[in-house]
Chains A and B, each alone.
Chain A
């Protein structure tokens, strides 16, 4: 999957790829800064979105591909994102004929202590 321009704007890189969904890395820097000392919640939402799309794209490719459109995105913020890299990964909860339910989680130092999580629902248009 070719990362979209928005992923490049955020500076997102694929950190780990294996059998499962890829782990994405969002570097810290002025372009993602929110209130002083913290990553902007919108940039964290962007990372979660890109992680969700990467996971969904991988699952969809295994079934012949298709186009996706976001319907709803809900983000919960648990902790402030501090001045260091943030990682994110998505999980496809259900891949239906027309709808996909996806979850994504973001963390910094410890994956067991997420800084944010999202639920994303997508409309799927299969070829």
Chain B
């Protein structure tokens, strides 16, 4: 449980697509990991309102739930997103940082089941709710059963 520490995943905000969006570590607890997505004008999907596009929220939640899987497994091992569903509960508020909280609620031999929420300040007032699955790439194929 302690071998993978999301807080020390230092390249997070410097690397690849997450880095381009400015996604960084925010907080963690026993059963979740939080990442932060600072508001940026170039991530807007609707210029008339200034509301963020869906893509950055999907990226934030894909990464937050991935971190939750690695934290639960205690190891950083490759996995691939099988599917991810995002329900938009309300629009993100322009100008405000989005927090993505990811949780791995079930870890099977070949598949990790995740869920999470995106919010600004109050987890009880979510912007989005997500549910998804990851295929664990290092799972032995012969024993691959969800």
Listed in ascending order, the chain A residues whose CB lies under 8 Å from chain B are: 2, 4-6, 8-10, 30-35, 40-43, 45-47, 49-50, 53, 67, 69-77, 80
Contacts and interface: CB of A to CB of B under 8 A. Distances in A.
Contacts of A70: 54, 88
B82 A73 contact: no
A84 to B, nearest CB: 16
Nearest first, the 5 A-B pairs at minimum CB distance are A42-B59, A46-B55, A33-B16, A40-B17, A6-B53
B47 interface: yes
Given A5-B41, A6-B44, 12 more contacts: A4-B53, A5-B47, A6-B55, A6-B56, A9-B20, A34-B17, A35-B78, A47-B55, A49-B58, A50-B53, A75-B58, A75-B84
Interface string B55-77: 11011101100000000000000
A127 B97 CA distance: 31
Interface of B is mostly: mixed
A9 B84 CA distance: 22
Contacts of B87: 71-72
A74 B84 contact: yes
Interface residues of B, number: 35
A7 to B, nearest CB: 8
9 contacts: A2-B47, A6-B56, A9-B20, A31-B17, A41-B59, A42-B56, A72-B87, A74-B86, A75-B58
A5 B55 CA distance: 12
A47 to B, nearest CB: 8
